[in-house]
Chain A
Amino acid sequence: MLAASVLAVLAVTGPDKLTGKWETKPSPKGNVTGVVFKEDQSFDGYVNKKPFTSGNYQLQDSIFELTDNGCNGEPGKYRIIFFSNNDSFRLQPIDDPCEERKNGMSKLVMGRVK
């Protein structure tokens, strides 16, 4: 029973294609948005090296789901599209009741920071 529980936890934690640091290119105003995805499926987001948001995510195939500390704790569901040898991604909204987040996430194109 214990072994099954450990396996279940391992199945949803650990590194995935997102684990690590990702950033956008500078916007016309010079803003750089970044996210650090961690192995425990949590993340921290920042703009111009100023962190302000944290949350948890799940990545299953091309489906990315998140909750963060904005948007009243409501989850958002997106299709994630990796490109450039999985070194870049963008997101297409599937279901997110939080309009501001949806607008922001839909515009993001992020590249892995090496």
Chain B
Amino acid sequence: MRKWCIVLPAVLLVFIQASLTGNAPKDKVALGRRLFFDPILSRDKTINCGSCHQPAYAFADTLAVSRGVKKRKGKRNTPSVMNITGLPYFFWDGRSATLEEQALAPIANPDEMDLPVHLAVQRLNANKNYKAWFRDIFHSEATANNLAQAIAAFERTLETSNSAFDDWKMNNNTNAVSEAAKRGFVLFGKKGKCTQCHFGADFTQHQFKNIGLFNGKDLNDSGRMSISGNAADIGKFKTPGLRNIAVTAPYMHNGMFNTLAEVIEFYNDPDKRIPHSINRDTVLLKPLGLTNDEKKDLEAFLLSLTDQQFLQKK
């Protein structure tokens, strides 16, 4: 019996060590994934990056604005972190020039994870596992720099190109999308004028645009102007990509539209919803004049941009 008392804990210890080793991240991406979902990076260890960037919603969430530690309310809608490899800048106002710079900002933001980056790094180096993993992968202790590198490396893997639209166009599978989606794609480039901003591999030209959601009163987020200091940028925000847009509601920088139908309705006649907007882009000065069928076709096209991984989960 006494012999078993000695042997059993020893076997358990070996088993636990083996399982920990088995879970050890092998590279930057795997380490970044672990960090992304680890609440160790929030001040009170209650939330992680994935609390707002949820995989089931294309790494966005379902709130107009997300909640940080102690349920603090954020200021803007959480964007998806999928399909961001090609972005020239990050955040709605483009304040970060690199994904690495972006990756650290929510950790330190008092309304989000509220943990100054130097404290986050201290925590990681005080953690036996992370200390070893950073040493294995980066050949150094954790630093702000390699913490950012790891998270960014993980985020760069979140590219999607397996939607019905992709199947239609890349494989010439004409049955992959509905006739409505095909009509919608044509409208997207012509009557809908959507490609004037949403053009490119991820359906964005990465420009800052004022679409008419700034009126200086109840809608008073000045957007890009707060970064550039240029009055011409008032109310401008980065044009988001549209891949997986069907699973990232609500929409716009302030999350004010709950459905794609609402978004299309707004673009069709912006004045009807926001009558006295300031500095709206000239593309949207006149109503588009879409019929109800055309609006449905546009929506069908946008739905066809949803990657299969999200359709299978439903």
Contacts and interface: CB of A to CB of B under 8 A. Distances in A.
A36 B169 CA distance: 9
A51 B189 contact: no
Interface in A31-71: 31, 36, 44, 46-54, 68-70
Contacts of B172: 36
A52 B201 contact: yes
B170 A46 contact: yes
A14 interface: no
What band does the interface of chain A fall in when counting residues whose beta carbon is under 8 Å from B? 10 to 19
Given A46-B201, A69-B185, A69-B188, A51 B170 contact: yes
Interface residues of B, number: 22
Interface in B151-165: 159, 161, 165
Q: Is the interface of B mostly helix, strand, loop or mixed?
A: loop
Nearest to B189: A69
B145 interface: no
Interface in A81-114: 100
A63 B44 CA distance: 65
B195 interface: yes
Interface in B221-265: 243
Contacts of B9: none
A5 interface: no
B86 A49 contact: no
Interface string B182-199: 000110111000011001
B201 A69 contact: no
Interface of A: 29, 31, 36, 44, 46-54, 68-70, 72-73, 100
Given A44-B170, A72-B196, 10 more contacts: A31-B86, A47-B86, A47-B200, A48-B159, A49-B166, A49-B170, A51-B169, A52-B199, A69-B195, A70-B189
